Amino acid sequence: MNKTVKRTYLRKLSELVDKPLADAFKRQGFASREIVTRWPQIVGTDISRFSEPLKMQWSKNTQDEGLPGTLILRVEGPAAIEVQHQTHLIIERVNRFFGWQAIDTIALRQAPLARREVRKTRPKPDPAAAKRVADSLTGITDDPLRQALGRLGAAVKRP
């Protein structure tokens, strides 16, 4: 009994998820995922901080192939007016990225952004500095309160 054993080899994760991701982006009208993944490099950090591409709409008429489409952006509420004033700049930068006139209009949808920047956690104050501040608070008899105020004082005095 000779069974042919099919060997499986390790494959990169990008090879496994490439097809499903491409299909998901295609459903949203994106020819490639670079406009989403490289949004900050395309439009700049000032604009990308408050906006993200949501969808591309192309003309439904098959005779109009090659005509520019509409880029739909999700924009945070307070920044919508600022982004609206910069639509010509966004159109210019996106078209320069694609190398042809891919879009000619931008539609804005006000909503919270799906991605959020992770806040940097501040380092804990120096324990020696916290102890020095706590020791200087001689008028406080409650030890846990004095220690907490020492940590607070060290955090405030941090350079």
d(CA 137, CA 12): 59
134 and 96 share one domain: no
Is residue 58 a contact partner of residue 69, using CB atoms and an 8 Å limit?
Answer: yes
Q: Helix, strand, coil: what percent of the chain each, to 5?
A: 50, 15, 40
- Amino acid in position 2: N
DSSP string, 123-156: PPPPHHHHHHHHHH-TT---HHHHHHHHHHHHHH
pLDDT reported for residue 27:
59
106 shares a domain with 137: no
Tokens 């439904």 correspond to 60
Q: Are residues 131 and 78 in the same domain?
A: no
43 in Cβ contact with 25 (< 8 Å): no
Question: Are residue 133 and residue 73 in the same domain, yes or no?
Answer: no
Please state, in angstroms and rounded to a whole number, the distance separating the CA atoms of residues 49 and 39. Answer: 10
Output the domain CATH number for residue 36. Answer: 3.30.300
Decide if 106 is inside a domain. Answer: yes
pLDDT at 73: 93
99 found inside a domain: yes
Range of the structural domain that residue 63 is part of = 14-110
Which range is least confidently modeled, 17-21, 30-34, 88-92, 154-158? Answer: 17-21
Model confidence at 43, pLDDT cuts 50, 70, 90, reads: very high
Which pLDDT score, from 0 to 100, does residue 76 have? 87
DSSP 4: P
Closest CA to 93 of 27, 31, 38, 11: 38
Same structural domain for residues 41 and 79?
yes
Domain match, 147 and 90 both: no
Residue 117 lies in a domain: no
**pLDDT for 62:** 43
The CA distances from residue 86 to 9, 13, 100, in Å, are: 49, 37, 20
In this structure, the answer to whether residues 84 and 135 fall within a common structural domain is no
User: What is the tally of structural domains in the chain?
Assistant: 2
Would 4 be classed as within a structural domain?
A: no
